[in-house]
Structures are given as structure tokens and as C-alpha cells.
A and B are shown apart, each in its own frame.
Chain A
């Protein structure tokens, strides 16, 4: 079944702010094996010009899973079967580094759904700001829904 294209343009604001904890940054940096002191040592971060420890460039993926249950991809009306999904593309545009103590608001929008051969590509665009509306990052995520393009269904029929 093709994805419901009526979802293009729909926005999903997260129900709560995400508070970036310094121990969460440490846990994430440890998990990716990255010993850069800017993630764990506030003095080292300040020496680089940051007000506090900062997060690794891909840290905001944590928000995806914190708010997974309220994201467009689990909205039953969209028709996405998670077992058919593979991750196609990911891009972060950092307006400034994420840092400990940030209280982040995130709104995800279904930016595009389109066919790519037998598959469909679902792109979400998430705007991450502080709760005071300072822009922090724009995150683009493209999921591949395998074999759900209308043309694939016709081939099987």
C-alpha cells in the first residue's frame, strides 16, 4: 500500500521540551567512542569558545527516539510499515552547536513523499530551537519504504 500523500506538509510539534543533560552528552560520546574533551570538559569547551560542553554532530538523533511515539512515521493514517523501512538519508544543519542545559523544542514536518522505483521516500524536516525560539538545527531524515510505490503494487497484481 502506498503511503498517504495527504500527509505531506503536516506538522508534528513535540509535546514537551527536551533538556540536554551533560551526562547524556557524555553517555552519547562514550557510546560512539569519541574522546573529544569538548563533550565532557566544560573548561575544554570554553577554550574553544563555547559556553558549556557541546554535543557531537549527530546527537540530535536522540530527539527522534525520545519523541518517537508522537512522530508522523507512527501515525497509523500514514500507512508506513516499520518492518519495510530502511534509513535512506540523514542531514543536520547546525545553526549553532547543541550544548548542555539547552531546552529544545522540536517540530517535525512531513516535507515530501515520492516514488523512487518500487520504493517510496519519506522525508521529514525537523526544526530544533530553544524554548526561547533561538534556532539550533534543522534535521532532514529520509526513510525508504521498500516496495510500497504504486508501480510496485501494479507489478505484483
Chain B
């Protein structure tokens, strides 16, 4: 593996650049097809509202995949992500209004481990909602 970030160059508190992701219905439809998760709440507003949701919501796994891009774009080699976990707290609501939702993800080095590994803590928000109550990636640096 060949991470573009050197362990020696990061400290606890090093910021990973924040990214805004636009989430529209078409993104969810594509993710349904690619992942095989066709749960109706991810593409059918009539059904989603009938089960008490405000609107169609993004797959938790889609938001998790977007958040990972903040880490993989930083480190260069996606194979450097040796562990990645999130706790979901609020769904990303995606209205069919031509705009959709914005998912904002930022990261910060929280801990330096042995063997050139670091823990990156991730924060993801959409509007006022905190999308994860906890999210961390263990990354193998150079």
C-alpha cells in the first residue's frame, strides 16, 4: 500500500479537509442498483411518508460511503483504510425539489497508533442533523 500522507507529518488534531456532497434522488437510485439495496424508503416518497418519514431518505451505507471519500481522497490509496465504522443517528432526507440534500463531512486525526496507523474521527451533517453519532477510520499511513 502507498498512502500519500506520512505518519510523521500528522499529529493529533490534524484536520482532514471537509467536503460537501450533493445528494439527489438520482444518486440514491444509482446506489440502489449498485448495492442491491432496493428498500422502498430510498426511492418512493409515497411509501416513505406512509411509514412516518419526512421524505425519501438516503441509504445509511450511501452516506457511509460518501464519508469514506474524505479519508480516501486525503490518503490517496483506498486500501490504506484498514478499519471503518459508523453509528447512524439521523437519516439524510432527500426531497425531490431539484436541489436535494447536502452532506458535509469533515475529519480530524484523533489518535496515533503503532505501525504508522492513525485514527481519523469523522463528522457528517445534513442541515441541522448530525448523521453519525460516531464515525472513525483506522488508516495506514506511509
Contacts and interface: CB of A to CB of B under 8 A. Distances in A.
Q: Do A and B bind each other?
A: yes
B83 A93 contact: yes
Contact of A89 (B62, B77, B87): B87
A140 B85 contact: yes
A92 B35 contact: no
B34 A28 contact: yes
Contacts of B21: 33
Contacts of A10: none
Interface string A69-87: 0000000000000010011
Given A56-B72, A62-B35, A94 B77 contact: no
- Sorting the interface of chain A by its residue count into under 10, 10 to 19, 20 to 34 or 35 or more gives 35 or more
Interface of B: 1-2, 21, 27, 30-31, 33-37, 51, 60-62, 64-66, 68-69, 71-73, 76-79, 81-88, 137
Interface of A: 27-28, 30-34, 36, 38-39, 47-50, 54, 56-58, 61-62, 64-66, 68, 83, 86-94, 96-97, 140
User: Lowest 6 A-B CB distances belong to which pairs?
Assistant: A65-B36, A91-B85, A31-B34, A97-B79, A87-B60, A31-B30
Given A38-B78, A65-B35, 20 more contacts: A31-B27, A31-B31, A33-B66, A36-B69, A48-B77, A48-B79, A49-B2, A56-B65, A57-B78, A58-B65, A61-B35, A61-B61, A83-B51, A89-B86, A89-B88, A91-B83, A92-B84, A93-B82, A94-B79, A97-B78
